[in-house]
Amino acid sequence: MDRFITTVLRDVPGCPNVVIKEEVLSAAIEFCERSGIYTAKLTESVLKGAESIDITVPVNTGLVGIDNIVVDGIAAYEIYHDGTTIFFDGKAISDYTMDVHVSLKPLRGSTSIPDILYNDWYQAIAAGAKAKLMIMPVKPWSNPQLVMVHSDVFDGGVNSAIKQAFRGNWPIKKRIDRRMGI
C-alpha cells in the first residue's frame, strides 16, 4: 500500500501515511466486494461419500462469493454453500476434483494488496481512498467539495470492474442443470 501514498497524499496534504494506508485498504476491500474483480480458481478434492467440502481461500484473503464450480470441464448449475462450505445434493459417488472459482477481498489488517488491484485499478482505488479521507470532518485534509469527484471516479472503476469480472466469470463449456440430468 506504500505505492499509493504519493498519489493520495497529493490531494490530502498533511494526512499521516498510516491513515492513508488504512483508507487505501478500506477502498480496496470495498472495490473487491462491490465488483468481484479479484478472483481465484481453487482446485478442491471431493472424496467418495462426502456430503460437503470446506474450501480454503488464499492467505490474507476473505471470501466475497463463489462464482461457479466446474467439474470435468462442465459448470455446475446450482451451488449450495454457506460461506466456505459447499454442500452437495447427496453423497459423492466417487472421488473427483472440482475447480471452484471464487471472488476474494483483502482482509483488514493486510499490509499489501494483490498486484491485480494495483496494476489494473490503481486510480479507482486511490480515488476511493481520497474520498474517504476528504470527507473526514475537522481534519486539515478535509475537502467535502471534492468528495463527489473522487467518489465518482471510484464508482466508475467499480462499474468497469463489474463488467470485466462478469465477462471473465463465464465457464468455457455449456452450463448444465444437474437436476434435469442433462
Q: Is residue 177 part of a domain?
A: no
Candidates 105, 149, 143; CA nearest to 124 is 149
Taking only the tens place, the pLDDT of each residue in 62-75 is 999 988 888 887 77
Whether 21 maps to a domain, the answer reads yes
Note the helical H segments in the chain.
2-11, 17-35, 115-134, 144-168
User: Is residue 47 in some structural domain?
Assistant: yes
**Would residue 44 count as lying in a domain?**
yes
Q: How far apart are CA 4 and CA 165, in angstroms?
A: 23
Whole-structure pTM value: 0.85
**Spatial CB neighbours of 71, under 8 Å, sequence gap ≥ 6:** 96, 98, 99
Q: Is residue 147 part of a domain?
A: yes
Quick check: is 61 in a domain? yes
pLDDT of residue 67: 86
- Structural domain includes residue 182: no
User: What is the tally of structural domains in the chain?
Assistant: 1
User: Which residue segment(s) compose the domain that 21 sits in?
Assistant: 2-168
Residue 180 has pLDDT above 80, yes or no: no
Decide if 32 contacts 117 (C-beta within 8 A): yes
